[in-house]
Structure formats: structure tokens, C-alpha cells
Amino acid sequence: ELHAVAAALELVDPPGCRNSARGCGLAAADQLNKMGHRVTVLERSDRIGGLMMYGVPNMKTDKVDVVRRRVNIMKQEGVNFICGPQGRVAESSQEAAIDQGTNMGPRAAQLLEEYDAVLLAVGSTVARDMQTVTGRDLNGIHLAMDYLTFNTKALLDGGDVSNKWRRWWGAKKNGTDPKVLDAKDKKVIVIGGGDTGNDCIGTAVRQGAKSVINLELMPQPPQTRSPNNPWPHWPLVFT
């Protein structure tokens, strides 16, 4: 029996299922739980939080004091979280109930059978690529989400940027996970100067990159902002 302890709510039927534990999905799960519904959250990743956990670097969002703290509050209020393989909606026709300890999550049809409502909040993990650009398939060219995600996972699993962290990263790079990227002593070019590009710049600098160059199609922002035009939105404001 689930209890929304913080608000002392009486749980009501029907139960609801939310697919993916990302920003907007967590907000929806929290609100549904406070309304008295039984809420189960399915997340294919090994940690709850989606973009806030793996897409946004640690220097911008604290994963312990912000993300994990909020998730723990939701757990105490009665929200049920299922992560990893069991939290991924199965594509196979094989039966896989979420409460049987299988290595596969439920099928979509099973969700509709077991729950009265299903909310899809799977986020967007497909990057905007540059496949038409000559040389895109050369070595050393990576997508931002791959770089940021594996860097954050390395920090969460192996500690901060230190010798301990680099030993962890080296073991992963040479062992089970070839996708981890370390910019230490490398010349880095980041294409795109928005939030994601700046996240990559900050990450590369903290990893110890030899140099970092940013390519951005917008005009370079000024070093200081006008009192009536807050940075960094000034290129979008008509004067």
C-alpha cells in the first residue's frame, strides 16, 4: 500500500504509470501523487532524473542536493520508481510483468492492462547531427549528449575530477565502455554556442583540455550587458 505521507493524502484508484523519470515527467508524477493516485515511474536509465541527472553537468545542477534529494522526497511520499532494464518498455512480445523481477520491462499492452492511465514523458535523446557535412565520419567527432552523459556518469560512479576519477575512466575506456571521452591535453572545438555548447566547453575545460575553440553562428555576446537588455538574450531583441 502506497502512502503520500507528506501531504497525508488518501490514495484513490485508478493507478497511473509514467514512462521515463525526466524533468517534466517527474513533475507530472509528483502532481498526480499529490492528487491521490498510485504512481509508478519507469526509467530505462540506471538513475532517476533524465536530462537533469545526465544531460546537465554537475557544475550547473548538483545531483545530490537537488536531483537525488527531490527523488527521495517523492519516494517517501509514495511514488514507485523502476529503473534499468525493468524500466524500459519492451519491444518483444514476450510477457514481462514489472513485478516479477525479470530483466525486461513491460510491453505497452501490459501497461494498458495493469494501469488506468499511461503518461509518456520520454524526453528527446536523438541529437541533431551533421551527417551531410564532409568529414563527419572521421575519428574524434562526437555528439554533445554522448560526451555530457558519459562524463556525468563517470563523475557519479568514480568521484570528482581527480586521480581516482581518471583511474575509473581509464578502466572503463579500456574495458566495458569505449564511449567515455576525456578531453585532457586535447585541442577541442565545440560547434554551437548555446546552453549545450557551453556545457561542453565547461566540461572540456574542467577535464584539462589544452585549448577550446567555440564556433557559433550568432554574434559574439558583449562582455557586459545593457541594463535594459539581459544577457545572453540580446541577439534576439530588436532595437
Residue 131 lies in a domain: no
Please count the structural domains in the chain.
Answer: 2
Q: What is the pLDDT of residue 61?
A: 84
Query: Does residue 96 share a domain with residue 39?
Result: yes
The secondary structure of 27-95 as a DSSP string is: HHHHHHHHTTEEEEEEESSSSTTTIIIIIS-TTTS-IIIIIIHHHHHHHHTT-EEEEGGGGSPP-SSS-
Percentage above 90 pLDDT, the chain: 24
Q: What is the pLDDT of residue 162?
A: 53
| Separation between Cα atoms, residue 132 and residue 14, nearest integer Å | 49
The set of residues, in sequence order, having a beta carbon less than 8 Å from that of 53 and lying 6+ positions away, is 45, 47, 63, 67, 152
Query: Does residue 110 share a domain with residue 180?
Result: no
- pLDDT band for position 4 (cuts 50, 70, 90): very low
Query: Does residue 155 share a domain with residue 88?
Result: no
Residue 126 lies in a domain: no
Q: Could you tell me the CATH number of the domain that includes residue 37? A: 3.50.50.60
Residue 149 lies in a domain: yes
Residue 59 lies in a domain: yes
Q: Is the pLDDT of residue 159 over 70?
A: no
Least confident of 29-33, 68-72, 162-166, 181-185: 162-166
Query: Does residue 18 share a domain with residue 116?
Result: yes
Query: Does residue 181 share a domain with residue 102?
Result: no
Residue 183 lies in a domain: yes
Query: Does residue 174 share a domain with residue 210?
Result: yes
Residue 231 lies in a domain: no
Q: What is the pLDDT of residue 163?
A: 54
- pLDDT band for position 9 (cuts 50, 70, 90): very low
Instruction: Give the domain range for residue 190.
Output: 144-215
Strand order in the sheet with 117-120: 80-83, 37-43, 12-19, 117-120
Closest CA to 148 of 215, 58, 57: 57
Q: What is the pLDDT of residue 3?
A: 32
Query: Does residue 149 share a domain with residue 51?
Result: no
Highest mean pLDDT among 101-110, 148-157, 184-193: 184-193
- pLDDT band for position 209 (cuts 50, 70, 90): very high
Residue 74 lies in a domain: yes
Query: Does residue 154 share a domain with residue 59?
Result: no
Q: Is the pLDDT of residue 8 over 50?
A: no
| Separation between Cα atoms, residue 219 and residue 224, nearest integer Å | 14
CB 39 within 8 A of CB 118: no
Q: What is the pLDDT of residue 11?
A: 42
Tell whether pTM > 0.85. Answer: no
Query: Does residue 102 share a domain with residue 157?
Result: no
Residue 89 lies in a domain: yes
Alpha-carbon dihedral 69, 74, 80, 83, rounded to 10 degrees: -30
Query: Does residue 34 share a domain with residue 88?
Result: yes
Q: Is the pLDDT of residue 98 over 60?
A: no
What is the average per-residue pLDDT within 129-138?
A: 90
Query: Does residue 24 share a domain with residue 82?
Result: yes
